[in-house]
Structure 1
Amino acid sequence: MPRFPQPAPEDLRRDSRPLLGRTALVTGASRRDGIGYAVARRLAAYGAGVYLHHHVPHDVAQPWGADPEGAEGVAAGVREARADPEAVVAHGPGDLTGPTAPAELIATATGALGTGRLDILVANHALSGHDGPLDHIDAAMLDAHWATDTRSVILLVQAYARLRAALADRPPGGRILMMTSGQDLAGGMPGEVAYALAKGALASATRTLATALADLAVTVNTVNPGPVDTGYLDGEAHDAVAARFPSGRWGTPDDPARLLSWLATDEAQWVTGQVIDSEGGFRRG
């Protein structure tokens, strides 16, 4: 006889809709070329209702620009992927740098999803640009990245935890997923000091947050997706990065999305406090 009870055969068979009935907030999901969109589609395909946060002015200011079909076009692509046609897919804007904005977003998303709870938080948003090497950065750059990339995420986690703690019944499946950028790996990110510091803080906080939320039946993990082709490089620079992958290609948004969506399922219930690199063998340095 086995020492511990073993799963029943039916529990070993993969459920094609493992997130049926659960709800998720995905931040930074404003472009169909982005990781947030790919994650949201995966979660919806697994059965979850999804609220998409976007901050279009950020994209407008970048070389790649905003999605040509706007936020509703992004939401339509997520609805198309739904495994449950009744699952809610809603969206709304938000500049998360304000001190109260993260808590307001949690409340808005929870209300829009209509269940009175939020099961999955995917903090995918980040500030692009406004950075540089050590000799170039200044206090304003450091503060801007801290406010967007770190402080807003911690405040989102705080608001999520408070919502979870207020539930009379805390169902299993609480998940917090954060994003980092491999700044602690070989070579670091000397050309993006402000961004690397802000994202590094999330990696450092992962285990602390996992311990803090364990009593709420919530796992906390952080994913480093490595270089993902979201349209920010082209030409020779694009080819040079591709050559550093054993496969000869960049990561696509769906590459990290597969890992992130799996971490949201019950199959990953014993994984918490981890910073996971999903880089396709990318050679650094």
Structure 2
Amino acid sequence: MPALPPPTPDALRRDPLPLRGRTALVTGASRRGGIGCAVARRLAAYGASVYLHHHVPHDADQPWGADPEGPEGAAAAVREARADPDARVVHGPADLAAPDAPAALIATAAGALGGRLDILVANHALSGSDGPLDTVDAAMLDAHWAVDTRSVILLVQAYARLRAALPARTPGGRVVMMTSGQDLAGGMPGEIAYGLAKGALASATRSLATALADAAVTVNTVNPGPVDTGYLTGPAYDAVAALFPGGRWGMPDDPARLISWLTTDEAEWITGQVIDSEGGFRRG
């Protein structure tokens, strides 16, 4: 196959709406202060129609609690960022711990967005229900496996089957998964179940990228590092901030900028990668 010619000057000019006409599902997007909502806002600002998945009972059980305005508050924030007036922003619930929930969510999201799904951002995770090696038990391991790993693989499977119905090598196929840097210095000794489950996604990234390559779908995983989503305050918050060269935590829009770029055509040559976006965070 001959080499591609260099891009023309017109091709080098950035499209302000690179995702116009494309559709996306962002899981775990129930709170305005979370990464999922920040990602959805960026995708909408790039022109995409977006389906926001939420599981409010999980947030309600956490110290930070659910969004005071519920999932509609997050959806309203995404609509506010929407650049294409014809793009849709819708939301719906799913408990992804259930084995059949991932496939059902893919079908629901695609149906709500016109029958097609170009982008899958698997941002959801189980928080809590974990501990160090001495306290972790089978129930903790199973719970994190079901939500943090199994549901993501099943989402990707259902997404791939949906994409298979499109014409060969339809452009715009993107999968982004999330990990937590458990393979970097220090690991996560206090969150064994979570670290194992998220580590499995990092390990599966290249295999999934190879499996979806013929469908022109890229698969990448992002480690956002410590991000201020409201889960830590006081001296502990300040201690973590001091570990960043910039003296501040990552904010939800920091990983959102990377993730949204990975979904554009500019990133079509990047696949099978685990990318750390940690602002120089000093581990270990």
Tell me, yes or no, if the aligned pair for 2:30 and 2:54 is still in contact at 8 Å.
Answer: yes
Query: Aligned to 1:97, what secondary structure does the other structure show?
Result: coil
Which residue of 1 is the match for residue 163 of structure 2?
Answer: 164
TM-score by length of 2: 0.98
Rounded to whole Å, the distance in 1 between the matches of 2:60 and 2:4 is 55
| 1:138 aligned partner | 137
Is the partner of 1:122 in helix, strand or coil?
A: strand
Show the counterpart of 2:87.
Answer: 87
In structure 2, distance between residues paired with 1:184 and 1:284? 11
Q: How much does 1:169 deviate?
A: 5.1
Letter in 1 for 2:57: P
1:123/1:177 contact within 8 Å kept: yes
| Deviation per residue, 1:38-78 (Å, 9 max, x gap) | 00000000000000000000000000000011111110110
Alpha-carbon displacement from aligned partner over 1:99-137 (angstroms, at most 9, x marks no partner): 1100000000000011x2100000000000000100000
Question: What residue in structure 1 maps to residue 125 of structure 2?
Answer: 126
Mapped partners of 2:28, 2:59: distance in 1: 10
Aligned runs of 1:5-44 on 2, under 5 Å? 5-44=5-44
- Offset of residue 167 of structure 1: 1.9
Q: Cα RMSD over matched residues?
A: 0.8
- Name the residue aligned to 1:71: 71
Aligned-partner residue type, residue 237 of structure 1: A
Partner of 2:181: 182
Q: Shift of residue 143 of structure 1?
A: 0.1
> Normalising by the residue count of structure 1, what TM-score does the alignment of the two structures yield?
0.98
**Cα drift, residue 208 of structure 1:** 0.1
The one-letter code of the counterpart of 1:174 is G
Deviation at 1:168, TM superposition (A): 3.6
Distance 1:167 1:175 in 2: 14
Q: Gaps spanning 5+ residues in structure 2: where?
A: none
Structure-to-structure mapping, 1:1-285, within 5 angstroms: 4-114=4-114, 116-168=115-167, 170-285=169-284
CA shift, 1:166, in A, is 1.6
- Equivalent pair of 1:164/1:170 in contact (CA under 8 Å): no
Letter in 2 for 1:153: V
Tell me the CA shift for residue 183 of structure 1: 0.2
Kindly indicate whether the alpha-carbon contact (under 8 Å) linking 1:210 and 1:221 is maintained by their aligned counterparts in 2. Answer: yes
Aligned residue pairs total: 282
- Separation in 1 of the partners of 2:34 and 2:200? 23
Alignment partners' CA distance in 1, 2:167 and 2:123: 29
Q: SS state of the match for residue 105, structure 2?
A: helix
Question: In 2, Cα distance between the equivalents of 1:7 and 1:54?
Answer: 40
Query: Structure 1 unaligned runs (5+)?
Result: none
**How far 1:86 moved relative to its partner?**
1.1
2:32 is paired with a residue whose SS is coil
Deviation at 1:4, TM superposition (A): 4.9
Question: Kindly, what percent of the aligned residue pairs are identical?
Answer: 83
Please identify runs of 4+ aligned residues in structure 1 that moved more than 4 A: none
Contact 1:25–1:122, Cα closer than 8 Å, also in 2: yes
